[in-house]
Amino acid sequence: MKVFNSIAELHLELETIRLAKKSIGLVPTMGNLHAGHLALLKEALSENDCVISTIFVNPLQFELNEDLQNYPRTIEEDKLKLKKAKCEYLFAPSVKEIYGHNINYQTVIHVPDLSDNYCGRSRPSHFDGVATIVCKLLNIVRPDTAFFGLKDYQQFLIIKKLVSDLALNVDIRGVEIVRDSNGLALSSRNNYLSNDDIVKASNIYRCLQETAGKIRDKNRDFRKIEIWAKAQLSNAGLRPDYFAICESHSLSPANENDTQLVVLTAAYVGSTRLIDNLRVSTDQ
């Protein structure tokens, strides 16, 4: 596996790849790789001649009170996992390489509307940081296809809109959530959880499934279901941030005429904030 730390060196390699008329896939990550990341890589490798994985802990997407310094950085273990998964190229730049000498003067991209609610309300600058780094990586690599996990469903829609609005020539592909045996969606933040916390956290997916069941049983009082679901999470020892039943493309609050829905939630287990979602179709 070739590892690149500078944009200039990566560009030289990409020029050779393009001259050979090979298709390029991009898998952006913040490292601390788990089976969910490797599922993205597997999908990317199946569809492209070569794949660029990136590892970059992006300071712009962390709020001031969040865990940037404590975010798990496991670059050597990550390299071994990527090699085992047959990844040929890794781009692992420094913050200076991406943002220059003063990150405070970095141009920032804001995707309106989709960024405003749910995680965007709880973390006001988070999606601006995500949109900025994704746009930079897409411009640096210029892949044919880029792969993102659907666990971050709001993020996925924001990136799709970013690419459409800025007329970027790349196909954005979503890859299904990978879960553990208890249904907990895999996340680097799961490393912060104790065994007891993991048992509590598994109630998030259970609540999503029960909510989907109510919807499929023709219960269309979505606001009442949301209140019920928050109570279920609280009773299980979690602290819900939000629980919302939305139209799956606009993320507007679902109404009784919507047939393609997504149930979004974020909840705290102790001080660790976890997100999850479940798409539900009522189109029979």
245-265 pLDDT, tens digit each: 999 999 999 999 999 999 999
Name the average pLDDT for the chain. Answer: 96
Among candidate residues 151, 175, 199, the one where a domain is terminated? 175
200 labeled part of a ligand binding site:
no
The residue segments making up the domain with residue 256 are 188-278
What pLDDT, on a 0 to 100 scale, did the predictor assign at position 67?
Answer: 76
Residue 64 lies in a domain: yes
Tokens of 85: 């998964």
pTM given for the model = 0.96
Pairing mode, strands 239-247 and 2-4: unpaired
Residues across the chain: 284
Catalytic residue status for 37: yes
160 labeled part of a ligand binding site:
no
202 labeled part of a ligand binding site:
no
Domains: count for the chain:
2
35 labeled part of a ligand binding site:
yes
What pLDDT, on a 0 to 100 scale, did the predictor assign at position 225?
Answer: 98
Of 11, 37, 110, 249, which is the active-site residue?
A: 37
Please tell me whether residues 90 and 203 are part of one structural domain.
no
Residue 283 lies in a domain: no
What gap in Å lies between CA 230 and CA 226, rounded to an integer?
6
Q: Predicted confidence band at 70 (pLDDT cuts at 50, 70, 90)?
A: confident
Please tell me whether residues 126 and 262 are part of one structural domain.
no
Residue 180 lies in a domain: no
Please tell me whether residues 144 and 224 are part of one structural domain.
no
Q: Predicted confidence band at 64 (pLDDT cuts at 50, 70, 90)?
A: confident
Phi, psi at residue 28, to the nearest 5°? -80, 135
Query: 115 and 160 in contact (C-beta within 8 Å)?
Result: no
What gap in Å lies between CA 278 and CA 276, rounded to an integer?
7
Residue with the two structure tokens 């990317």: 44
- Share above pLDDT 90 across residues of the chain, in percent, rounded to a whole number: 95
